Amino acid sequence: MPKKSLKIIKIGGNIINDDVLLHNFIKDFAQIDGAKILVHGGGKRATEISESMGVDAKMIEGRRVTDESTLEIVTMVYAGLLNKKIVAQLQELNCLALGLSGADVNSIQAHKRIVETIDYGFVGDIDAVNSEAINVFLAHEMTPVFCAISHDKKGQLLNTNADTIAAEVAIAMSGIYEVELNFVFELKGVLSSFTDKNSVIPFINFEQYEQLMQDGVIADGMLPKMHNCFNALKRGVSSVKIGDQSMIANGTMGTKLRLI
């Protein structure tokens, strides 16, 4: 018997920070038929709230350093304010959404990142995803909405990259479903020229990805996103795409990733 389909969509901070874009995305997401999971970040909003509380956000190479004060703030923002805002708007559209952190039903277990050259503080690297627990929600036609918080099963919450959460959840669920993973952000896809917002590369395989990295076309914040994409494909996810919310609304292509 063929597997049922599951769509997993991760939305980035630029959509979350814009009430109009977020509302439009949520309307499109709510209309997706069948099983679906939403994963969201919110780093920009967390930075804004941190600064309003007099806590400076510390970033190293584009990654947030999470001390105890910062962990409290990102937990409040990700698992509280943003997660419940998204869930409430989905309920309005009759999407039976359930807001979750990785601590809920032990869904995403991680360990505190081992210090090599940089101590990122309470940042989690994922060890396990509880696919059976998540599938209970899906089987009852609920839509999990995950924020970017995991836990270590020793009582400690951990700040965890939302792209990584989306990829690891997709990998875990691919044992049960035919999984399509979509990374939705403000650009139409991976661009061949960052100054030309229409220069979308329609397909990228792993060999091309390595060349684009070498040429500097894929750089900065796109690097970890692409790493997560290809990690997902290598570990059983059927389809991975990157683009703006028109991928969800109109089925436009964006950039499709493939191994060969």
Check which CATH number belongs to the domain holding 75 and give it: 3.40.1160.10
* 101: confidence class by pLDDT, cuts 50, 70, 90: very high
Q: In the predicted model, is pLDDT for residue 209 greater than 70?
A: yes
pTM: 0.95
- Residue numbers of the domain that contains 163: 5-258
pLDDT, residue 250, reads: 83
* 51 vs 136, more confident: 136
pLDDT, residue 62, reads: 64
- Residue range 17-38: mean pLDDT, rounded: 95
- Residue range 75-101: mean pLDDT, rounded: 97
User: 156-204: per-residue pLDDT in tens?
Assistant: 999 999 999 999 999 999 999 999 999 999 899 999 998 999 999 999 9
* 95: confidence class by pLDDT, cuts 50, 70, 90: very high
Per-chain mean pLDDT for the chain: 94
- Residue range 222-251: mean pLDDT, rounded: 93
Number of domains in the chain: 1
Q: Which two tokens stand for residue 257?
A: 């990733």
pLDDT, residue 60, reads: 77
Report the 3 state secondary structure along the chain.
CCCCEEEEEEECHHHHCCHHHHHHHHHHHHCCCCEEEEEECCHHHHHHHHHHCCCCCEEECCEEEECHHHHHHHHHHHHHHHHHHHHHHHHHCCCCEEEECCCHHHCEEEEECCCCCCCCECEEEEEEECHHHHHHHHHCCCEEEECCEEECCCCCEEECCHHHHHHHHHHHHCCCCEEEEEEECCCCCCECCCCCCCCECCEEEHHHHHHHHHCCCCCCCHHHHHHHHHHHHHCCCCEEEEECCHHHHCCCCCEEEECC
